[in-house]
Amino acid sequence: MKKHIYVFGILSVWMLLSSAGYRGPYSPPEGAGRAVRLVEAADSLRREYRFQEALQLYRSAESRILENRTDTSSLPPADSILLDRIGLCRVMAENGMAMKQYVSEPVSVARHTFTVRDFYLFYPMQDSSWRPVPNSLDSIPGHRFVNATYFPEGSTDIYFSASDRSGARNLYHTFLKDSLWSVPALLDESLTSSGDEIFPVLSSDGRTLYFSSSGLYGVGGYDLYKSEWDASLGTWGVPENLGFPYSSPYDDFLYYNTPDGKYTIFASNRECGRDSVTVYVLEYESMPVRRQVEDPQRIQEIASLVPVNDPSKMDAGAAIREETHENVDMSRYMSRMNEVRNLRDSVSIYGKDLEEKRHRLSYSTDPQERDRLTGEIVAAETRIPALQDSLAKASASLQQIEMEFLFNGVVIDPDKVMAQADREFVGAAANYVFSRLSPGKPLEIRVEKPEVKFDYSFMVLPEARFAQDNTIPEGIVYQIQLFLLSRPATVAQLKGLSPVFSETTASGKYIYRAGLFRTYNDVLSNLNKVKSLGFRSAFIVAFHDGEPLQVQKARALEAQKEEAHYQIRVISSEEALPELAVKAVRQVTDCDIAKVAEEGRNVFIIGPLDSEDEAEKLGAMIRISGLDNVKVAKIDN
């Protein structure tokens, strides 16, 4: 339900088709095969921030699939799935072009690569607070990144990510009520997307919620977002993408500002293998300066977040370090052990990067890209032997220290040494220590049982259901009257209808009506369904504010009633909306864009929009495109 489809090769397309129910040998026609290769090349360009070039290839791939066709409904399953995939990727590339206008350059202090299974334990957060999944709040294990819930001891208010019945991850909130925790409530609709939302982190002042999503406005994978609390409305605001270099075409998550106000920490797999993530430590920026950066290579350099070689910007005291080694020999042993493990990680990362570059080279048709990839492959092939040699020397040195221990009669407790080695890693920048937290105990809390609310949606079930409350809601309501009986109806007589309303007349008769419908078209479309169950004399009745009303009068009132509409008002000194803003609008809606003059200023009006939520989301996208004076206004009826 809330999953993106990613295609990384012809084999991936075949696996995708198989999961969708397609059977038989995969031998795409030349047009489709060429389209797959174009999508692969475009994906590579998008991951290199070359969004304009990626867009051109995505369009070419679309053209290959649609050539000589006038009706997309007749496409084969393979082409139809690939076409949907291309549409998603085009949006990501277009978003990337817009986000290039607002790039910040934070100072990187340190970075280190950890395994995906426990990277979060190296954040300077409260110890013993990451509780394993499944638990009382998150009962479905198996997510690629999320296998623990952050729940510090003594908490009374928790935001967390959990899977719903479909397997999609959403953000929830629960709080302590006496001895029970409240029924977890789904956060605002604007924080829910067609993808997954993971790793929510509340700021220390409680006003900002940071999280990661694979379905909101972004450039691929999981992007980082923030949402501000609106105390006047009691809701979370429309999420804002944190932009480059925090978000990237890869997976970025678990954004955390240290309580001392010194550092921002987040994780990403932009420069490591599938089973690893890199944790980046940056100087905290309260007011980040954003500027336009068009050169893709420059954006890649910024996004690599190479730590500065400036001791004045490093603070060993900011990281949590659990204990100090007083024994010099043991300290030397631990240091050499960490060196071996770091070199081993580096060899693995270089190897995986080399494999990916070779894969991209095999599919690239661009001579310049092929030359660049060839140079990078040669450099990596030269670097790996040097790393392997360093690893061999470090391993030999480690064995020598162990032999010295044995010669001097020093007995090493392997479990204790390994546990301590796991707790401390030195990042790429000297003096910053990544300390490993202890995993928390399994979460044992009592959560209130959710109140099972009666579903008043019209349904035909295996067994009919009477409405829990026979009150007719306010406004215009239509129902289907079933029959008038002299004695109460049985469940069997109602033939699976739900909900069924009953009313007793002054003469002691029983009237039974089914459903609650807000429009005449809705009730009319269900009338034949009811008649086909055997209620041949069923007919439509209407109510207004709970009182009976002739159906024709109800339809007249319905026609007069206008739904609320909204519009976006953009105030600008320019004569026209910027191209990026127009693209943002057209990505969401085909509404009119009108310009009027008010008090010497140009006001661009976009609308009408059917809902406030739709208007707020569009307003957020326009703001991201670079316009600040953007307001949502309700159109008076």
Residues 6+ apart with CB under 8 A from 504: 510, 511
131, 154 contact by CB (below 8 A): no
**216-230: per-residue pLDDT in tens?**
889 989 999 999 998
Q: How confident is the model at residue 621 (pLDDT cuts 50, 70, 90)?
A: confident
Query: Which segment of 55-59, 324-328, 603-607 scores lowest on mean pLDDT?
Result: 324-328
- The DSSP bridge partners found for residue 484 are 511
d(CA 79, CA 433): 51
Spell out the long-range contacts of 66-69 with Cβ–Cβ below 8 A and sequence spacing 24 or more: 67/31
Q: How confident is the model at residue 412, as a pLDDT?
A: 60
Q: How confident is the model at residue 618, as a pLDDT?
A: 85
Q: Is the pLDDT of residue 195 over 70?
A: yes
| Token couple for 478 | 């239509």
425, 342 contact by CB (below 8 A): yes
d(CA 182, CA 185): 8
Q: How confident is the model at residue 311, as a pLDDT?
A: 44
Q: How confident is the model at residue 500 (pLDDT cuts 50, 70, 90)?
A: very high
Average pLDDT over residues 154-165: 90
Helix axes 10-19, 77-99, angle to 10 degrees: 120
Dihedral through CA 188, CA 194, CA 200, CA 204, nearest 10?
-50
- Note the residue count of the chain: 637
Q: What angle do CA 631, 633, 637 make, to 5 degrees?
A: 170
Query: Which segment of 9-18, 32-41, 326-335 scores lowest on mean pLDDT?
Result: 9-18
Q: Is the pLDDT of residue 149 over 70?
A: yes
Q: How confident is the model at residue 374, as a pLDDT?
A: 85
Average pLDDT over residues 621-629: 82
Alpha helices in 223-307 (DSSP H): 296-304
Q: What are phi and psi of 268, to 5 degrees?
A: -155, 150
Q: How confident is the model at residue 176, as a pLDDT?
A: 94
| Token couple for 468 | 């829990």
Average pLDDT over residues 417-422: 54
What is the maximum span of the chain, computed from C-alpha positions, in angstroms? Answer: 105
Sheet holding 547-549, edge to edge: 500-504, 510-517, 476-485, 539-544, 547-549
Q: How confident is the model at residue 3, as a pLDDT?
A: 38
| Token couple for 17 | 């088709």
Q: How confident is the model at residue 501, as a pLDDT?
A: 96
Q: How confident is the model at residue 318, as a pLDDT?
A: 38
- The DSSP bridge partners found for residue 162 are 170
Q: Which domains does the chain have, with CATH numbers?
A: 10-99 (no CATH), 101-322+427-449 (no CATH), 330-409 (1.20.58), 459-560 (no CATH), 565-635 (3.30.70.120)
In whole numbers, what is the pLDDT of the chain averaged over residues?
A: 82
Q: How confident is the model at residue 20, as a pLDDT?
A: 36
Average pLDDT over residues 185-195: 84
**227-252: per-residue pLDDT in tens?**
999 888 888 988 999 999 999 999 99
Name the percent of the chain lying above pLDDT 70: 83
Burial of 86 (0-12, 13-18, 19+ CB in 10 A): buried
Q: Is the pLDDT of residue 543 over 90?
A: yes
**90-134: per-residue pLDDT in tens?**
999 999 999 999 999 999 989 999 999 999 999 999 999 999 999
Q: How confident is the model at residue 22, as a pLDDT?
A: 38
- SS (HEC) of 114-156: EECCCHHHHCCCCCCCEEECCCCCCCCCCCCCCCEEECCCCCC
Q: Is the pLDDT of residue 435 over 70?
A: yes
Name the percent of the chain lying above pLDDT 90: 43
Q: How confident is the model at residue 165 (pLDDT cuts 50, 70, 90)?
A: low
| Token couple for 463 | 């067994």
492, 462 contact by CB (below 8 A): no
Cα-based distances in Å from 625 to 55, 385, 489, 509: 18, 46, 61, 65
